[in-house]
Amino acid sequence: MWRETIEDLKDPHLVARIQQFFGVDITHEKSSPSPPQTDDQSRIIEKNGTVHENGKRIVHASEESLDPAEKSPIERRIPVNNYFWYYLFLFGTELGDEVFYCSFIPFWFWNIDGAVGRRIILVWSIVMTVGQALKDILCWPRPACPPAVRLQSKWSQEYGMPSTHAMVGVAIPFGIILFTMNRYVYSICSAVVVAVLWCSLICLSRLYLGMHTVLDIFAGLGLAGMMMIPLVPIVDFTDHYLVTNETALFVLFVISVATIIYYPTSDRWTPTRGDTAMVVSVTTGVHLAALINFKTGAMQPVLVPPPYSIIWPTWTMLGCTILRTVLGFCCVLATKAITKFLGYTTICAILRVNSKDLMNSENSHENKDKVLVDLFCKYISCFMIGFNTVYLLPNVFTIMGIERPTFYTEM
């Protein structure tokens, strides 16, 4: 019985039916050359490859070939009949992407609560690392196409089991609730509703885009839920030591580097190792910055214990929030660009390889120097983003007089 249930949940036909339910018109014929455009045919091509023909939206999708000898994917033109679901699920899948992390995490520290932010990052990094490593250990493929349709190719090189999007969909919103429920006075029921909607949107988006089977989603949800049970109290307890103790931070640094070095390898290259480097380096950078804030005396424990009432922003507070966010994001983008360039140049000089040749090398995934350079640059750039988010930029905000008053009391 269990075996049959598992096979049913792994069935790509189930994914195809879900896609059809949300308005994806699935056909399995190779696309023919586009007919010549006539005067009465309106054809508009967007930057993302989306085409509008006679009012119908056409999305270019990749479909895995049924013929093993045919290495290149079959390019197909998949009609998406429902604009609402299409854009909603594109937004939903971005909630588990690097762009979301690079915007949500700094925004949370600058404008909401640093103590909760540090704990959320620890949970996020552990959950993501375990999920990404399991993908390369289990090596379960993504849903077969056909019968499903791959509407997104960004993560198609990764394996599918478990869904780390689903794991993040549990870890971040529910982690926020667990770390704030005793810290602030607010409606827990309303927060749970928002968290469920958040998680559901991410999970459905992965099915809609043809990136995961239902079993991948359930496995991700279950694994993250089980991990959260011990992680939340452990992280809540250890955060103080990471902020106040150099030895604890050194251990975190060693673990982050060892995680990348001894990351499990699969039978082919996947981007999961780079994603893991991102999450562990951001976590290390954030906690190093918090340690420096504490050791320099900038961070002091608050005299009034929680719970706190939520203060809705005045127009002045809202203006400062906007200034912090805009200035901060510009600095984050600059940090990523500068550190990536300097890191790439430095490591190439150490390895005595030509940076331009290495950057343009073919079969880059099989080039060990290229992989090492990419991992180093990813670690350094994300580490500096985390460090600047918690140390450099809050100091800049203080000098400019737009700081958040409680930032340096959140231990």
Give the mean pLDDT per block of 10 residues along the chain (411 residues): 77 85 68 43 41 48 43 53 84 87 91 92 93 87 82 75 91 94 91 94 90 90 94 90 88 90 74 85 93 89 83 88 94 90 82 68 61 84 93 93 88 80
| Amino acid at residue number 320 | C
What is residue 352's predicted lDDT score, i.e. its pLDDT? 77
What is residue 30's predicted lDDT score, i.e. its pLDDT? 41
What is residue 42's predicted lDDT score, i.e. its pLDDT? 39
Site of tokens 């079959």? 74
What is residue 269's predicted lDDT score, i.e. its pLDDT? 66
Distance CA 140, CA 133 (A): 12
Distance CA 228, CA 234 (A): 10
Known catalytic residue: 165? yes
**Structure pTM?**
0.82
Alpha carbon separation from 122 to 15, 38, 234 (Å, rounded): 33, 57, 10
Identify the active-site residue in 13, 212, 287, 365. Answer: 212
Give which of 327, 266, 324 is closest to 135, Cα–Cα.
266
Identify the active-site residue in 52, 165, 240, 287. Answer: 165
Distance CA 402, CA 396 (A): 9
What is residue 210's predicted lDDT score, i.e. its pLDDT? 85
Q: Which two tokens stand for residue 254?
A: 């060693």
What is residue 264's predicted lDDT score, i.e. its pLDDT? 81
Distance CA 370, CA 376 (A): 10
Backbone φ and ψ for 42, nearest 5 degrees, come out as: -90, 120
Q: What percentage of residues in the chain have a pLDDT greater than 70?
A: 82
| Cβ(299)–Cβ(411) below 8 Å | yes
Q: How many CB atoms lie within 10 A of CB 339?
A: 19
Known catalytic residue: 28? no
What is residue 364's predicted lDDT score, i.e. its pLDDT? 54
Q: Which two tokens stand for residue 377?
A: 């640059």
Distance CA 153, CA 159 (A): 12
Distance CA 177, CA 179 (A): 6
Alpha carbon separation from 53 to 18, 46, 59 (Å, rounded): 25, 12, 11
What is residue 78's predicted lDDT score, i.e. its pLDDT? 59
What is residue 374's predicted lDDT score, i.e. its pLDDT? 81
Distance CA 383, CA 389 (A): 10
